[in-house]
Structure 1
Amino acid sequence: MRRILVCVLFFICLFSPSWVKSLSPSLNDDVLGLVVFKAEIQDPEGKLSSWNEDDDSPCNNWVGVKCNPRSNRVSDLVLDGFGLSGKLGRGLIQLQFLQKLSLVRNNLTGSISLSFSQLSNLRVLDLSENSFSGPIESDFFRQCGSLRSISLAKNKFSGQIPESLGSCSTLASLNFSGNEFSGLLPSALWSLQGLRLLDLSDNLLEGEIPKGIDGLSNLRGISLRNNHFTGGVPDGIGDCLYLRSVDLSENSLSEGLPSTMQKLALCNDLVLYKNGFTGELPEWIGEMRSLETLELSENNFSGQIPDAMGKLQSLKVLNFSKNGLTGSMPESMSNCLNLLVLDVSHNSLTGNLPSWILKLGLQQVLFSDNRLSGSMGSFLASSTENSRRKVVILDVSQNKLSGEIPSAVGDLSGLQLLNMSRNSLVGSLPASIGQLKTLEILDLSENQLHDSIPLDIGSATSLKELTLEKNSLRGNIPSSIGNCSSLISLSLAHNEISGSIPTSLSKPANLQIVDFSFNQLTGTLPKQLVNLVHLQSFNISHNQLNGELPAGGFFNTIAPSSVSDNPSLCGAPVNRSCPTVLPKPIVLNPNSTDATPGTISQSFHRGKKILSISSLIAIGAAASIFIGVIAITVLNLRVRASTSHSAAALTFSGGDDFSQSPTTDGNSGKLVMFSGEPDFSTGAHALLNKDCELGRGGFGAVYRTMLKDGRSVAIKKLTVSSLVKSQEDFEREVKNLGKVRHGYLVALEGYYWTPSLQLLIYEFVSGGDLYKHLHEGSGGKTLHWNERFNIILGAAKGLAHLHQMNIIHYNLKSSNILIDSSGEPKIADYGLARLLPMLDRYVLSSKIQSALGYMAPEFACRTVKITEKCDVYGFGVLVLEIVTGKRPVEYMEDDVVVLCDMIRGSLEDGKVEDCVDDRLQGKFPAEEAIPVMKLGLICTSQVPSNRPDMAEVVNILELIRCPSEGQDESG
């Protein structure tokens, strides 16, 4: 209530201040003004909580408030970085004795409603780094006679700078930088004779710099950087004798530099880069003896660098780059004993690299893109070991340097960047490069270097960019390259490097760009490369690599052009299928004399091996091969014929509890059925008949066979025998999986164990897998919307149950969703990864590489824990596949389309409804389809913690489901 009263009193006081005081004698003007100021802004961080309107005075403990001890009135209000927002109200005009107002680094907006007639005692006004906008009223500065300093820097003010600024006769500092002021400079500006600092940089000002600049005779610093000024620098600038800093860079100034500038004997910094200045560099520059920074880059200066430069003994930074300078560097510059940075790159300088350069102890030396000649050896030999240590940047690229790279380059121990590319350097890459422990960028490309890359390169552990392309380097890629843990970019393209790509290349976790193209590399790509989660480009084209591309991560979407011209490389990007190693078919041993039921043995069918025949193969050898094939074929026929006589060898017994065959013979196996007493005596032949094979996956082939009671089962023959756990661990895991029972999960009915053969026995699901229904038109029928939604919801419920049992599927994909006779989904192949001795993600990736596009990004990174959220990611991809009818990754003629990215882009463009499967022909409820696709995108978030749990997914799907009366159920 009191705050409302205060605000009312404030507005009344605008007309009769004395009457207000008589009404509330305890409420002085300063409390009133500050409380109203606080009421009109937002203080989200509570920084002004100490401002209590019940106080008689703000001078005791109000934060940001300073008072004059004599008058006990507010003199300074400093609220820098308080996070305040809102508009600047009129409450401050009550602070009649305010001398300093600073509101730097807040979020204040709107225009300035105050005027100096209301704040007549104000000396310092700093509103920089806010979001004030709009033009400044023309009479804003009309009564600013007391103002000493004003800064409106880094806001969004626009329009012209008002002429009333000339009324600020006592102004010493003016900073309007970082706004959107436009138009010409006000002529009244040049009458401010007391001005010492003028900063109008980073605006849109235009026209010429007025000749009246000589009126600012007390000016110490002027910055007009990054505007649109034209014309030349006025002669009058030479009369500003106290100038210490001149920055006119990034404009459109032209002509030559006025000779009057030589009178600026106190000037420390002359910055004129990015203009259009012409003519030769004047000798009189040498008279500006106080210069510490001379920046004349990106102009049109020509001629030679004058000898008078040697007089600038205070000079620290010299930048003449990107001009048209010719001739050689003057020897006189060896007198510039304080020089730290020298940049004369992108000119037409000639002669040798100056011998005095390194003697001065420079930190940055840039000579790139000139016509310098000579050798690096003589250049380094002219310096002391102590002076070499000071160099941080050395760039001599794109010149005519010759000779070998000397081992003394290792003495440049402080180097962070070394660029000697595009020269004529020969010889080997010195091993001393490894001594450069701080080196981050090394570029020796486009020279004539040969021999191998030294192993010592791995000692340069700070390397981020290594570029050795377009040389004649030979030998192998050193495995020590993996020790360069900071490596981001690696290019060895266009050399003669041979051997294989080392596995250690997967160690630099931040590696983004790799280019090994146009070499002679052989061997297979290390599977561990999928661990490079930041990889953006991996070019291995034009080599002799073979085998299969790694599965997962970046390699799922690698561009075909990056792997082209490797005749023996296989995988989708090169449009070449990899040869499949098929599991050996299960047969019964026709020669077994063991009469014990339940005995299973293996025999090997040797298939015909297709070989390429050249004209050099001897006729006799060809005949031998032919005879051998016939003999093997005859043996196979005999084996198949004999199986009908030995079918009784494969029988199963069991009870209500876990039961097993009683045999303990060393040649027999252990059979366990979780319920019932079936046997396989009538179905043994099915295991030999390839026609009864249902499919093959990463963990094995699946066959259909019949139990004695006429019920069909599916038998999975595991092909991971060398990786499977011990019998004890295997049985424990399988029995745990056997306890999992859910309507949307394929039930595990039993197992068979020998050290060399493991079988899993599942219920048989008759309707085929979802992949065939979606992409191969199983049965000639298209799934209608209700069927698709039911499959999504059922799969979600099944997966949620698995997660509730602490089981991760690891291999969720449409081919592992089976459809039963009622059209209901059942998840298959869950938990099989738990049969491995360790959940090694590289082993897993080789086993589930068919799950291309379903694998969560963290699966390719060793440092990220694999959790149920990996299944959620695969489920999200599955959802999008079901709704769109498209595969997770589609390989087009010139492009690779990732389903998640395509739908995400369509969603951003407002066209997500167009992504629904065309075969539905509009027969779907958009109010269900669109939310389902959005849910799929949420599930495929790159960050695991952003993905929902499957229990939450089930709840969301049930909320999405809408009544579908009247919808065509015929599909």
Structure 2
Amino acid sequence: MTITLMGFLHLLLLAAATSSLQQYCMGMGVPVQLNDDVLGLIVFKSDLHDPSSNLDSWNEDDDSPCSWEYIQCNPVTSRVSEVSLDGLGLSGKIGRGLEKLQHLKVLSLSRNNFSGTISPQLTLTSGLERLNLSHNSLSGNIPSSLVNMSSIRFLDLSKNSFTGPVPDNLFQNCVSMRYLSLAENMLEGSLPSTLSSCSFLNYLNLSKNSFTGNLDFASWFGSLKRLRILDVSNNALSGSVPAGISAIHNLKELLLEGNHFSGPLPFDIGLCLHLNRLDLGDNQFTEPLPDSLQRLNSLTLFRASNNMFTGSFPQWISNMSSLQYIDFSNNGLTGSLPSSIGYLKSLNYLSLSDNKLSGNIPMSLADCTYLSVINLRSNNFHGMIPEGLFDLGLEEVDFSQNALMGSIPHGSSRLFESLRTLDLSRNNLTGSMPAEMGLFSSLTYLNISWNKLQSMVPPELGFFQNLTILDLRNNALFGPIPEDICDSGSLGILQLDGNTLTGPIPEDIGNCTSLYLLSLSHNNLSGSIPVSASELKRLKILNLEFNELSGEIPQELGRLENLLAVNISYNRLTGRLPVGGIFQSLDESSLQGNLGICSPLLKGPCKMNVPKPLVLDPNAYGNQMGDHNQRDRSSKSTQLGHHKFLSVSAIVAISAAILIAIGVIVITLLNVSARQRLTFVDNALESMCSSSSRSASPPVGKLIMFDSGSSPDWISNPESLLNKASEIGSGVFGTVYKASFGAQGGIVAIKKLATSNIIQYPEDFDREVKILGKAKHPNLIALMGYYWTPQTKLLVTEYAPNGSLQAKLHERLPSTPSISWANRFKILLGTAKGLAHLHHSFRPPIIHYNLKPSNILLDENYNPKISDFGLARLLTKLEKHIISNRFQSALGYVAPELACQSLRVNEKCDVYGFGMMIFELVTGRRPVEYGEDNVVILSDHVRVLLEQGNVLECVDHSMSEYQEDEVLPVLKLALVCTSQIPSSRPSMTEVVQILQVIKTPVPQRMELY
């Protein structure tokens, strides 16, 4: 609400009158009620937007605000002591009207939409004891004069957008402070050293900011004797954590996760005997866990995941009898679990995945009767699964990627009601699938793939009401697919590959309306593909290869608009492919092995179930009204007439066949003649040039360097060079090694090419490699030389010390900083310049064909360098190689025209790959991501968000900041580059120009239009 001008003038006059009245009455000794509180609150209200009219009771004509809603006054002085406006949906700025509230003790404005900066001139009353501005959108620096630290006891500024460093003098006199939270802002710099002055502090939360520097418990927290909770998680703090933490005797929670701490844990951490929560996760701690930890008998949560702890699993863990939550996943722990682990009677969550643990799973683990989550994935556990575990009320079980044997235990009724996730994949389990599994009413994820189970698929699986993922791949399951497997209607992924299932695909498969992945390959399924599969409107991936399916593919499948990948190879299918959808873009690898399918990609007969032509009876055209005697002619005459008719038809057919055959023979002879003339010319040219070209062939088994012509003799054996190198990567074209090379010991990269499909003649290889060697550009990996023998082919290239963009973007450790937006834009622009050079500086242009982050290397300054460019020139069968490797790359990188031989492939396929790379760099996500219940196609996801006006939601959250006016046009450029129609994509020269305009400062950019 905003007050009128007359009202505001009235308040000012009233304030002046109040001041005069106060002076007069003080002289007379008469007490008077002041109205500064009314003035201050109404001025404060004038800066607010109150959509729910919660402050309607605040009336400027009142003499006192003590009757107003959300206001409390001191009963003795009748002055405002508390303003609590939490969660009222208010917005606007925090104005200086609050300075009038000179007796204010509590100010709480949390969970609203206050925004903007807090004025440095705003100084709240010196007697303020409690200030809560949390859960708003306040920004800028925290003013050092906001509150009087000598009186404040509770200060919560969390969950805002405050930036910059915390003033070092802010806490200089914080002797009364009990509670301090600056969590979930964008604060940076070192932790203020004056915090040590807050000697009565009980709660300190600085989490989810960007604080840097070290922690020194001895000097920094030595005086915080009363601290109970310390949370500095999810910052950028680094270095080791030195001893001295035991000085905080009463510490109950120590949360250090999500930083860059390294080295061993301080030995005295076990002396904080009151600790009940200890979170060390997502750091770089090393060495074994200190034995002093076993003294923490009050500890309920112990998380040390995603570190580098080593040594044996602590056998003393069972001494910590209060533990409810243990997470040691993703470390280097060895040894076995102690049988005494069953003493942890309160244990609810146990995750030890991705370690090197071995031995049996202790039977005593079933004594942890409160256990609901157990994750032992990716270890070396062997033996049998303890049956007692399946009598507990477990919610999540993951024993995948171990060496467990025996059968799957039968579950109890308690497990049926609770279990949501069961993953036993990649073990050595045998026996049958328990029929009781169909009773798991809460189960959403079931994965028993890659075992040795031998049974029929239980029909009870159709009882699952909430199952979204069912993965039974690569077992020895037999029999038919249950008819009612999709009765629940919630199944999103169904994978039954690699079994010996027989019979038809159930007609009821159409009931799986939520399916987006259906994979039944490598079985013995027969019959036709049911027409009901066309009801799977959400289906994105369909794999039916290596079965015995027959008949024609239902034309109705062409209406599945979301279908992205289909493989029906090696069946007995016949007829035409469905019109529409992805079927017209399928490549040979998706269709081969079906001799009856009609496709120009396949060799063999085309079999279609078409009606036979109708042969008309010639007698039907006779005189049906003629003499009855004529119809009674002898059978001999009738037969003679028939023979005469058939002879005429045969003559016509034979004549047509002869004419066609003659045409084919003539064309064939002409082709042979032309071929012979071309061969003669080729042979003549070859014989004329043999003395020059062949005699000038590069020496076989010699390393040729383009800058010096050859290398020293000691390099003539390439295997000795590779033995000195270390392997740093591999891909479609071969393996890459890092090596020290030459007299100066410079570092180079050596790619050992896979010999399959590579040019076999040294002079041809030399010619193509030298063309690639001429491709010099700051954003291309320089090709320095090569080595050729019939068995070994090496390329010597420049070495990029910062590795690949793939590793920096998708494979970085949580503790490693993400790529900044400035560097991401530099990578985009540099890559575009390199591609433009390949496309427009060579005739014919050099096309990469395989542009993706793993082929973008980075130097020490994050300048991009494109690798593997033009290697397709070294292939003898380019199209076959590209198509056969299409699905080896992640789905989403490859331009659509590479899968369709009817389209001419040109440099626009690289533009498509560049557009996908833009999506990855901006969002930090892969082109296609598979979740538990959906598949995210990144380009479609961004397009939808852009149409909805929410595209900034997809920007990589790991970037601390970015330029919004650069990100939006860059994403729009990516959508244009990934157009399904090649001609609609820009050239790379145009892409470079667009990026340069985007990078131009906004005022100058506007002048360009």
Amino acid at match of 1:4: L
In structure 2, which of residues 394, 397, 401 is the aligned counterpart of residue 398 of structure 1?
401
1:99–1:373: structure 2 CA closer, same or farther, 3 Å change rule? same
Q: 1:554 to 1:417 in 2, by over 3 A?
A: farther
For the pair 1:270 / 2:278, whether they are aligned, the reply is yes
Write the mapping of 1:925-940 to structure 2, written as runs, cut at 5 A. Answer: none
Match of 2:38 among 23, 31, 35: 31
Q: Contact 2:122–2:145 (CA<8 Å) still a contact in 1? A: no
- Aligned: 1:18 with 2:19: yes
Residues 176-208 of structure 1: CA deviation (Å, up to 9, x unaligned): 000000000111011210110000000000000
Q: Please say if residues 15 and 39 of structure 2, whose CA atoms lie closer than 8 Å, have aligned partners that are also in contact.
A: no
| Residue 195, structure 1, aligned to residue 201, structure 2 | yes
Partner SS state of residue 254, structure 1: strand
Q: Distance in 2 between matches of 1:479 and 1:258?
A: 60
After superposition, the Cα gap between the structure-2 partners of 1:315 and 1:554, relative to the gap in structure 1 and judged at 3 Å, is farther
Residues 1:311 and 1:112: Cα distance change in structure 2 (over 3 Å)? same
Q: What is the identity, as a one-letter code, of the residue corresponding to 1:335?
A: Y
1:160 aligns with 2:165: yes
The structure-2 alpha-carbon separation of the partners of 1:917 and 1:419, relative to structure 1 and needing over 3 Å to count, comes to: closer
- 1:638 Cα offset (Å): 5.3
Distance 1:152 1:255, change over 3 A: same
* Matched residue type, 1:149: F
1:189-242: per-residue Cα shift (whole Å, max 9, x none)?
Answer: 112101100000000000001332121111000000000111122322111111
How many Å apart are 1:634 and its aligned residue?
4.7
After TM superposition, give the deviation of residue 535 of structure 1 in Å: 3.2
> Which of 183, 208, 212 is residue 214 of structure 2 equivalent to?
208
2:383 counterpart residue number: 374
Deviation at 1:903, TM superposition (A): 15
**Shift of residue 554 of structure 1?**
6.5
Give the alignment of 1:171-570 within 5 angstroms: 171-210=177-216, 211-361=219-369, 362-376=371-385, 379-380=386-387, 382=388, 388-408=391-411, 412-413=415-416, 414-545=418-549, 546-549=551-554, 551=556, 555-559=560-564, 561-568=566-573, 570=577
TM-score (norm 2): 0.56
Q: Deviations over 1:48-70 (max 9, x none)?
A: 2222212222211x222222222
Alpha-carbon distance in structure 1 between the residues aligned to 2:623 and 2:409: 77
Aligned pair partner of 1:55 in 49, 59, 62: 62
Percent identity among equivalent residues? 33
Change (3 A) 1:902 1:446: closer
Moved more, 109-118 or 310-319: 109-118
Shift of 1:509: 4.0
Structure 1 residue 311: deviation in Å? 1.2
The 3 A distance-change label for structure 1 pair 26 and 643 is: farther
Secondary structure, aligned partner of 2:500: coil
Cα distance per residue 1:508-555 (max 9 Å; x no partner)? 443333222333333333333344444333333443434333637962
Question: How has the CA–CA distance of structure 1 residues 916 and 189 changed in structure 2, closer, same or farther, with 3 Å as cutoff?
Answer: closer
The partner residue of 2:155 within 150, 153, 177 is 150
Question: What letter matches 1:538 in structure 2?
Answer: L
Structure 1 residue 642 displacement after superposition: 8.4
Matched letter for residue 167 of structure 1: N
Amino acid at match of 2:499: N
Contact 1:139 1:162 in 2 (8 A): no
Instruction: Give yes or no for contact 1:488–1:510 (8 Å, CA) kept in 2.
Output: yes
Q: Secondary structure at the match of 2:263?
A: coil
Distance 1:54 1:434, change over 3 A: same
Task: Tell me how far apart the structure 2 counterparts of residues 165 and 642 of structure 1 sit (CA, whole Å).
Answer: 119
CA distance in 2, matches of 1:464, 1:559: 20
| SS of corresponding position for 1:158 | strand
Secondary structure at the counterpart of residue 490 of structure 2: coil
Deviation at residue 902 of structure 1 after TM alignment? 14
Q: Deviation at 1:115? A: 6.4
Partners in 1 of 2:100 and 2:310 — Cα distance? Answer: 61
Partner of 1:94: 100
Q: How far apart, CA to CA, are the structure 2 residues paired with 1:331 and 1:128? A: 47
How much does 1:418 deviate? 1.2
User: Aligned with 1:394: secondary structure?
Assistant: strand
Instruction: Give the greater-gyration-radius structure (CA).
Output: 1
Deviations 1:684-732 (A, max 9, x none): xxxxxxxxxxxxxxxxxxxxxxxxxxxxxxxxxxxxxxxxxxxxxxxxx
Within a 5 Å distance, the mapping from 1:568-717 to structure 2 comes to: 568=573, 570-572=577-579, 573-575=582-584, 633-635=615-617
The CA deviation string for residues 636-665 of structure 1, in whole angstroms up to 9 with x for no partner, is x555788999xxxxxxxxxxxxxxxxxxxx
Per the TM alignment, residue 88 of structure 1 is displaced from its structure 2 partner at its CA by 1.1
Q: Secondary structure at the match of 1:166?
A: coil
In the alignment, the residues of structure 1 paired with residue 383 and residue 228 of structure 2 have an alpha-carbon distance, to the nearest angstrom, of: 45
2:251 and 2:942 map into 1 onto residues whose CA distance is 61
Runs of 4 or more consecutive aligned structure 1 residues displaced over 6 Å after TM superposition: 9-17, 20-27, 640-645, 895-898, 900-908, 914-919
Question: 2:401 aligns to what SS in structure 1?
Answer: coil
**Contact map agreement 2:18 2:35 (CA 8 A) in 1:** no
Q: Deviations over 1:614-635 (max 9, x none)?
A: 99xxxxxxxxxxxxx99x6351
Q: Which amino acid aligns with 1:480?
A: D
Cα separation, 1, equivalents of 2:200 and 2:544:
67
SS at match of 2:285: coil
**Aligned-partner residue type, residue 398 of structure 1:** Q
- Aligned residue identity for 1:214: G
- 1:902, 1:93 → 2: CA distance? 49
8 A Cα contact 1:281 1:306, kept in partner: yes
What is the identity, as a one-letter code, of the residue corresponding to 2:378?
D
CA distance in 2, matches of 1:350, 1:547: 52
Q: Which of 128, 133, 140 does residue 127 from structure 1 map onto?
A: 133
Flag the 1:233–1:504 CA change in 2: closer, same or farther, 3 A.
same
Q: CA RMSD in A?
A: 4.0
8 Å contact from structure 2 (residues 15, 36) kept in 1: no
Query: CA separation of 1:643/1:293 partners in 2, compared to 1, >3 Å: closer, same or farther?
Result: farther
Alignment check: 8 A CA contact 1:410 1:434 kept? no
Query: Alpha-carbon deviation of 1:80?
Result: 1.3
Query: How far, CA to CA, are the matches of 2:272 and 2:555 in structure 1?
Result: 66
User: Are the counterparts in 2 of residues 228 and 251 from structure 1 also a CA contact under 8 Å?
Assistant: yes
Distance 1:902 1:186 in 2: 42
Q: Structure 1 residues 537, 105: CA separation in 2 closer, same or farther (over 3 Å shift)?
A: farther
Structure 1 residues 568 and 508: alpha-carbon distance in aligned structure 2, compared to 1, 3 A threshold: closer
Cα offset, 1:451, TM superposition: 2.9
639 and 560 in structure 1: CA distance in 2 versus 1, 3 angstrom threshold: farther
Distance 1:288 1:389, change over 3 A: closer
Q: Does the aligned pair in 2 maintain the 1:488–1:511 contact within 8 Å? A: yes
Residue 9 of structure 1: CA displacement? 6.2
Distance in 2 separating the partners of 1:891 and 1:180: 42
Distance 1:245 1:114 in 2: 34
Contact kept, 8 Å, 1:110 with 1:132, in 2: the verdict is yes
Cα distance change on mapping 1:22 and 1:206 into 2, 3 Å: same
Aligned partners of 2:91 and 2:585: how far apart in 1? 61
| C-alpha distance in structure 2 between counterparts of 1:160 and 1:323, whole Å | 34
Matched residue count: 616
Task: Say if 1:453 and 1:478, in contact at 8 Å, map to a contact too.
Answer: yes
